[in-house]
Amino acid sequence: MRAIPIPITVTALAAALLLTACDSGGSGTGSGDKNTGGTACRITEVGVQVGPANAAPAAGDTGNVPVTVTNRGARCTLEGFPGATLSAGDVTATVPQDKSGKPEKLTLAKDDTASFTLTYVRGKENDAKSLAVTSLKLSLPGASGSQDFPWSYGPVQGRKNAGDPDASVTALQQAGD
């Protein structure tokens, strides 16, 4: 009865091929990223929560502002550093990237989250080297558009001057489970 093993072998081989073509959407590494189409997450299609912060209480102290991004649309990717700009009236300052961490390519399904942290040194009130920040503008890597958020954590110290903030943003990281 040699006819029986051949259909079973073909069925097993077909099932194995189908299973290797599937993507669990898990860690965002390996061949699963190829199935995302390379669509960058857009700030208009995500929810953004700024804070609650570990605000710097006094001039010279360091504060941390966590930011959580929740995908509200179709599967998308994030890779790199978010854009962050501090504003005080007509004066703006771009927050530099914290290069101590390496960005990873993240794939976010609907309701998946990623996060990053903006770290800053609080400046002195009415000091020429401090930027009296009133808003934070955020953007996501690989996509156009930005969103403004109120800043209530005090002035930010400048390194050389108010336009060179003593602050940094980390790379995006997978958040949650």
pLDDT at 38: 59
In a domain, 8, yes or no: no
pLDDT at 28: 30
In a domain, 81, yes or no: yes
In a domain, 6, yes or no: no
Distance, in Å, from the CA atom of 76 to the CA atom of 41, rounded to the nearest integer, reads: 5
The answer, yes or no, to whether residue 98 has pLDDT greater than 50, is yes
pLDDT at 15: 33
With bands split at pLDDT 50, 70 and 90, how would you rate the model's confidence at 175?
confident
In a domain, 3, yes or no: no
Residue with tokens 């502002």: 65
In a domain, 31, yes or no: no
Whether pTM > 0.85 for this model: the answer is no
The answer, yes or no, to whether residue 176 has pLDDT greater than 90, is no
pLDDT at 53: 92
pLDDT at 150: 97
137, 144 contact by CB (below 8 A):
no
One-letter amino acid for residue 11 of the chain: T
In a domain, 107, yes or no: yes
Question: pLDDT tens digit string along 136-168?
Answer: 999 999 999 999 999 999 999 999 999 999 999
CATH number of the CATH domain containing 62: 2.60.40
Instruction: Quote the domain boundaries for residue 114.
Output: 40-175
Range name among 29-43, 96-110, 162-176 with the lowest pLDDT average = 29-43
Strands (E), the chain: 46-50, 62-71, 76-79, 83-88, 91-94, 105-108, 113-121, 130-131, 135-139, 147-150, 156-157, 167-169, 173-175
Question: pLDDT tens digit string along 33-90?
Answer: 333 355 999 999 999 999 999 999 999 999 999 999 999 999 999 999 999 999 998 9
Please give the tally of structural domains in the chain: 1
In a domain, 127, yes or no: yes
